[in-house]
């Protein structure tokens, strides 16, 4: 934008253009409004006010996810189980396999992750959430209105990992192989 | 060497190794800073985890089997052998490359313990290891793991106590010390496992043990591990007004343990599956054995459980269709384990001995009778007079076996509480039959970790803190001497046994020199037959036995003396006397001493087998 004075014709064209844009563009209209009230040249739409876009998302490290899945497969055959079509089998067959999965995965879970309930109260009882409770570990549902303290029924105690203890991996270890193929000679 | 910072106890077990330590700097009297050591080991190819136990397995991998990184440990990028959890897992699929039970081989008199014989089933191209080398590798792993964690306090500079079965003979003890020396641990001490278990119980009681036992108590320690059954008797005595413990007897070496029990159950279940037309391969049997162990522990600890499901996962990726499901019932466990391994027998019962067939495959001399209670009955009867010379332990009138007044159980087998109860029940029935008071249970030791913990505590106790178990050697020792008589064709000259080491020699002592001399031939090895007795307590050095009762003396490895020629002419016969020395380490050494007494040669226990 230059500071030199505009001609009448130019001003007339500007008025028309401004009229039209003020009607169609609410941001522009707000800017004109600021000017008409004689307020300091308002935060102009330039450089565009950083729109509150989505914060950058973290890339998670897939190695430890794959490592844990590999452990579940190794001890509890979890991938084998989930990859099968359970529709074709009787409940007794599925039950037998589920024992393998449950026993092995449970062992892995206990060994590698220390998991504790978020709330120590029994499920089904009424609890009170004071102001400033941590929304990341407590989710409100149902009639969510008003202000804390909130009173409600504990439906699920929640789980929180208080310690992770994954095996150390050798440099260059291929975690994408959840279970190697086995060939008996 | 600088003053050690830690007392380290190593339980070098048949199936697991455990390491515990006491921080000597922060411990004082009954305040003992004891810790269990997490042993980093490969748990899967390329994955290292800490576990409290290092499975005593070694795997000799094929060069194409694992990538170099798959084997790497935090302290060694490419170890030659895989040791621990991963070794055991790989061995389940490839048994021909797996070394297991090296400890049992170490005391197997029929093989050369320094020869490369393991794995026994390995085909030609697979490198084999000696039982001695395999034992060394486990110790090297523990040493490296320790040094990695405590670089300022290397293991070789700590006060290390290594446990051995009480029933280990002098040769097996010597080999264990040799394996430790090969791993760089020179200044270590050997301790008997049942004693270690009792030390652990004393430690866990935090001083209260003095209230739980009293002068006159006879403690029976029953240690039933993965591979061996080990029995000891420890008397509570008094000296200068304070309680003292004296180990008075140890049992024979019995290769019978928890692994036999789990395998027995697995075979019961396998035949049940076979009857349903579902045969199992060896991989599945392994998985079944594992499942049976867990099911056994549930059935023997939960009185309400009538049966526990046991599943054998399929080997392929089709888990649901291929998994076999069956049950282990209470009745099967009772019949197989309780009746099979812990039958309620009379105190006069003795283990059955089957004549071995002439063509036995090279294998471990497993106990022929699986009944723990029969072995126990035989042990107590044999040791009837074991404490007769201690004040307050006079043998009861009409007693047919030694009466224990308290029992301490140790070893993973007794995690199934009812097996301990059953053993106590059998013992108390024998005691009641002889109108003796029943024995009580000494509780409170951790069954898996007690031996290592007790060993670490012992290293602390040795530095003058707390009570020590006295005892010395649990046998008297003899050399065989051919009696001088005219040669009769076709008849071996009768042999006499001369006592060279009395019962109860303490560590760091020498036996006196026997009067009788033996002849050594210069330049060629001379062998002597060697005997031990766990019941002849009164024999003094130099006593010559012309005959002895059946089972009183047990023949051990031969002694071999090799006199270097030096300034003598080969073939010359030099008269020497054999002297027994119990070293500070706890091994038995035999020296050949020249007539003048100024020359001394070490006589070796021959561990080359072939007996």
pLDDT tens string B255-307: 888 888 888 899 899 998 889 888 888 778 888 888 888 888 888 878 888 88
Dist. CA B224–CA A146, nearest whole Å: 66
Chain B environment of A69 (Cβ under 8 Å):
none
Residues of chain A with Cβ-Cβ distance to B318 below 8 Å are: 80, 84
Longest dimension (CA), chain B: 81
Residue from A72, A92, A97 to probe the interface with B (highest B Cβ count within 10 Å): A97
Cβ distance of B70 and A170 shorter than 8 Å: yes
Q: Band of the pLDDT at B17, cuts 50, 70, 90?
A: very high
Flag if B320 and A173 touch (Cβ within 8 Å): no
* Buried residues in B191-216 as b, exposed as e (16+ CB within 10 A): bbbbbbbbbbbbbbbeeebeeebeee
Chain B residues within 8 angstroms (CB to CB) of chain A: 40, 43-49, 69-70, 72, 74, 93, 294, 309, 311, 313, 315, 317-321, 323-325
Residue A100 has pLDDT above 70, yes or no: yes
Q: Which residues on chain A are in Cβ contact (under 8 Å) with B74?
A: 168
d(CA B361, CA B509): 41
Tell me the CA distances in angstroms from B166 to B190, B195, B505, one per residue in order.
10, 8, 15
Phi, psi of B373 (to 5 degrees): -65, -35
Mean pLDDT in residue range A158-164: 93
Q: Tokens for A174?
A: 């291929």
Whether the CB-CB separation of B361 and B288 falls below 8 Å is answered with no
Match 């059954």 to its residue by tokens. Answer: B229
Would you say residue B380 has pLDDT above 90?
A: yes
Tell me the C-alpha distance between B419 and B417, whole Å: 5
Q: Which residues of B touch A170 (CB under 8 A)?
A: 46-48, 69-70, 72
What length does chain B have? 611
- For residue A84, list chain B residues with Cβ-Cβ distance below 8 A: 318-321
What residues of B are in contact with residue A184 (Cβ under 8 Å)? 93
* Residue A74 structure tokens: 């190794």
Share of chain B above pLDDT 90, in %: 41
Which SS3 state, helix, strand or coil, does residue B173 take? helix
**What are B68's two structure tokens?**
């170099």
pLDDT per position as a tens digit, B153-197: 999 999 999 999 998 989 999 999 999 999 999 889 999 999 999
Q: A92 is written with which tokens? A: 């007794």
Residue B50: closest C-alpha in chain A: A167
User: Cα-flanking dihedrals φ and ψ of residue B148, to 5°?
Assistant: -70, -40
> For chain A, what is the radius of gyration of the CA atoms?
31
8 A C-beta contact, residue B537 and residue B249 = no
pLDDT for the residue B359: 46
pTM of the model: 0.83
Residues of B with CB below 8 A from A171's CB? Answer: 69, 72
pLDDT at residue B360 tops 80: no
What is the per-residue pLDDT for B453? Answer: 96
**Token reading at B377:** 């009955």
Q: What is d(CA B143, CA B501) in angstroms, rounded to the nearest whole number?
A: 34
Q: Which residue among B45, B46, B320 sits closest to A89, beta carbon to beta carbon?
A: B320
**pLDDT tier at B358, thresholds 50, 70, 90:** very low
Per residue in B50-66, pLDDT tens? 999 999 999 999 988 88
Q: Read off the pLDDT band of B375 (50, 70, 90).
A: very high
Of B30-34, B231-235, B430-434, the poorest mean pLDDT is in B30-34
Question: What is the band of B490 on the pLDDT scale with cuts at 50, 70, 90?
Answer: low
| Inter-chain Cβ pairs, chain A and chain B, closer than 8 A | 78
The Cα of B24 is separated from the nearest Cα of chain A by a number of Å equal to: 30
Report DSSP letters for B323-359, one per residue. -EEEEEEHHHHIIIIIHHHS----TT-----PPPPSS
pLDDT of residue A52: 67
Longest Cα–Cα distance of chain A, Å, equals 96
Contact yes or no for A173 and B319 at CB 8 A: no
For B574, phi then psi, to 5°, come to -110, 125
Determine how many CB atoms are found less than 10 A away from the CB of residue B251: 26
- Interface touch A94/B320, C-beta < 8 Å: yes
What whole-number percentage of chain B has pLDDT above 70? 95
For the cut 60, the answer to whether the pLDDT of residue B437 exceeds it is: yes
- In whole angstroms, give the CA distance from residue B202 to residue B218: 15
B6 vs B8: CA distance, rounded Å? 6
> At residue A2, does pLDDT exceed 50?
no
Which of B259, B235, B260 has the alpha carbon at shortest distance from B246? Answer: B235
Apex B183 CA angle, B179 and B189, nearest 5: 65
Is residue B323 over pLDDT 60?
yes
The label of the residue with tokens 């700590």 reads B158
* CA distance linking residue B545 with residue B109, whole number of Å: 24
DSSP A89: S
How far is B87 from B102, CA to CA, in rounded Å?
A: 14
Per CB distance under 8 Å, which residues of A are interface residues toward B?
67, 70-71, 74, 77, 80-81, 83-84, 86, 89, 92-97, 99-101, 103, 167-174, 179-180, 182, 184
Residue with tokens 């998994």, as numbered in its chain: B323
Alpha-carbon torsion, ordered B497, B539, B106, B166, to 10 deg? 160
Q: Which of A100, A105, A184 should be substituted to probe chain B, the one whose Cβ sees the most B Cβ atoms within 10 Å?
A: A100
| B456, HSE (Cβ side, Cα atoms, 13 Å) | 28
B458-468 tens-digit pLDDT: 999 988 877 88
> B297: which 2 tokens?
């522990």
What is the SS3 assignment for A93-105? Answer: HHHHHHHHHHHHH
Cα B54 → chain centroid: 17
Report, as an integer, the average pLDDT of B224-248: 89
* A60/chain B closest Cα distance in angstroms: 21
pLDDT digits (tens, 9 = 90+) for A51-79: 667 777 888 788 889 999 999 999 899 99
A86 Cβ contact list (under 8 Å, min separation 6): A94, B320
Of the ranges B65-69, B220-224, B337-341, B607-611, the best mean pLDDT one: B220-224
Q: What is the ipTM of this complex?
A: 0.70
Residue B381 has pLDDT above 80, yes or no: yes
DSSP 8-state symbol, B95: G
Strand partners for B581 = B510, B589
Alpha-carbon distance values, B14 to A14, B186, B192, B228, B609 (Å): 96, 22, 14, 8, 20
Tokens of B591: 């020296």
Residues in chain A: 185
Q: Is B177 helix (H, G, I), strand (E, B) or coil?
A: helix
Q: In chain A, whose CA is at the least distance from the CA of B47?
A: A169
Nearest CA in chain B to A77: B319
Average pLDDT, stretch B14-22?
95
- Alpha-carbon span B385 to B393, nearest angstrom: 9
Q: Best residue in B45, B47, B273 to probe A by mutation, most A CBs within 10 Å?
A: B47
Q: Using the predicted structure, report yes or no on whether residue B546 has a pLDDT greater than 60.
A: yes
Residue A80 to residue B309, Cβ atoms within 8 A: no
């Amino acid at each position: 934008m230059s500071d030199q004075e505009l001609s009448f014709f130019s001003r007339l064209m500007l008025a028309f253009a401004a009229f039209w844009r003020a009607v169609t563009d609410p941001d522009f209209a707000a800017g004109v409004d600021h000017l008409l009230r004689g307020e300091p040249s308002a935060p102009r739409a330039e450089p565009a006010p950083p729109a509150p876009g989505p914060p950058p998302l973290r890339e998670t490290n897939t190695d430890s996810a794959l490592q844990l899945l590999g452990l579940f497969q190794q001890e509890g055959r979890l991938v084998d189980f989930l990859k099968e079509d359970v529709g074709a089998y009787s409940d007794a067959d599925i039950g037998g396999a589920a024992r393998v999965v449950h026993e092995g995965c449970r062992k892995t879970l206990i060994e590698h992750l220390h998991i504790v309930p978020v709330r120590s109260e029994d499920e089904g009882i009424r609890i009170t959430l004071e102001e400033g409770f941590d929304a990341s570990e407590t989710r409100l549902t149902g009639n969510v209105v008003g202000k804390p303290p909130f009173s409600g029924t504990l439906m699920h105690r929640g789980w929180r990992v208080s310690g992770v203890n994954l095996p150390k991996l050798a440099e260059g270890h291929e975690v994408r192989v959840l279970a190697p193929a086995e060939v008996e000679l | 060497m600088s003053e050690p910072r830690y007392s380290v106890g190593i339980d070098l077990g048949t199936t697991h190794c455990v390491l515990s330590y006491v921080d000597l700097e922060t411990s004082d009297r009954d305040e003992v800073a004891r810790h269990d050591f997490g042993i980093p080991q490969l748990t899967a190819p390329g994955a290292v985890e800490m576990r409290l136990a290092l499975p005593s397995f070694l795997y000799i991998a094929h060069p194409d089997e694992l990538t170099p990184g798959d084997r790497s440990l935090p302290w060694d990028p490419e170890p030659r052998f895989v040791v621990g959890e991963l070794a055991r897992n790989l061995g389940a699929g490839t048994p021909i490359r797996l070394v297991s039970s090296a400890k049992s081989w170490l005391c197997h008199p029929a093989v050369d313990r320094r020869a490369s014989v393991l794995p026994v089933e390995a085909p030609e191209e697979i490198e084999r290891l000696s039982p001695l080398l395999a034992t060394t590798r486990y110790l090297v792993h523990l040493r490296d793991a320790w040094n990695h964690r405590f670089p300022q306090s290397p293991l070789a500079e700590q006060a290390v106590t290594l446990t051995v079965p009480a029933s280990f003979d002098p040769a097996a003890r010597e080999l264990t010390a040799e394996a430790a020396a090969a791993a760089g641990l020179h200044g270590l001490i050997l301790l008997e496992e049942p004693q270690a278990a009792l030390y652990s119980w004393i430690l866990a009681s935090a001083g209260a043990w003095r209230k739980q036992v009293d002068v006159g108590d006879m403690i029976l320690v029953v240690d039933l591990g993965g591979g061996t059954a080990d029995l000891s008797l420890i008397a509570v005595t008094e000296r200068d007004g304070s309680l003292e413990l004296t180990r008075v007897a140890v049992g024979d070496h019995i290769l019978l343990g928890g692994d036999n029990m789990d395998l027995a159950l697995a075979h019961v279940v396998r035949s049940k599956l076979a009857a349903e037309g579902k045969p199992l391969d060896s991989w599945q049997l392994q998985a079944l054995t594992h499942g049976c162990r867990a099911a056994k522990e549930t059935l023997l600890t939960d009185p309400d459980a009538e049966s526990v499901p046991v599943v054998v996962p399929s080997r392929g990726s089709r888990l649901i269709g291929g998994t076999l499901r069956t049950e282990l019932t209470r009745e099967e466990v009772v019949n197989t384990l309780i009746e099979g391994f812990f039958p309620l027998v009379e105190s006069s019962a003795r283990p059955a001995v089957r004549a071995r067939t002439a063509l036995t495959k090279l294998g471990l001399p497993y106990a022929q009778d699986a009944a723990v209670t029969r072995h126990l009955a035989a042990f107590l009867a044999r040791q009837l007079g074991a404490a007769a010379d201690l004040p307050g332990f006079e043998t009861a009138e009409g007693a047919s076996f030694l009466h224990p007044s308290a029992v301490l159980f140790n070893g993973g087998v007794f995690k199934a509480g009812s097996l301990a109860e059953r053993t106590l029940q059998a013992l108390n029935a024998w005691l009641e039959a002889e109108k003796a008071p029943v024995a009580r249970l000494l509780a409170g030791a951790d069954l898996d970790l007690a031996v290592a913990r007790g060993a670490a505590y012992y290293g602390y106790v040795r530095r003058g803190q707390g009570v020590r178990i006295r005892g010395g050697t649990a046998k008297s020792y003899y050399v065989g001497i051919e009696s001088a008589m005219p040669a009769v064709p076709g008849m071996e000259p009768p042999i006499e046994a001369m006592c060279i080491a009395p019962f109860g020699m303490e560590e760091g002592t020498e036996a006196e020199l026997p009067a009788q001399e033996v002849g050594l031939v210069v330049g060629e090895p001379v062998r002597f037959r060697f005997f031990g007795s766990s019941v002849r307590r009164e024999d003094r050095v130099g006593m010559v036995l012309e005959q002895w009762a059946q089972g009183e003396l047990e023949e051990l490895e031969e002694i071999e003396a090799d006199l270097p020629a030096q300034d003598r002419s080969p073939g010359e016969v030099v008269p020497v006397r054999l002297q027994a020395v119990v070293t500070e380490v706890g091994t038995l050494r035999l020296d050949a001493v020249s007539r003048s007494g100024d020359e001394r040669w070490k006589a070796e226990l021959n561990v080359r087998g072939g007996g």
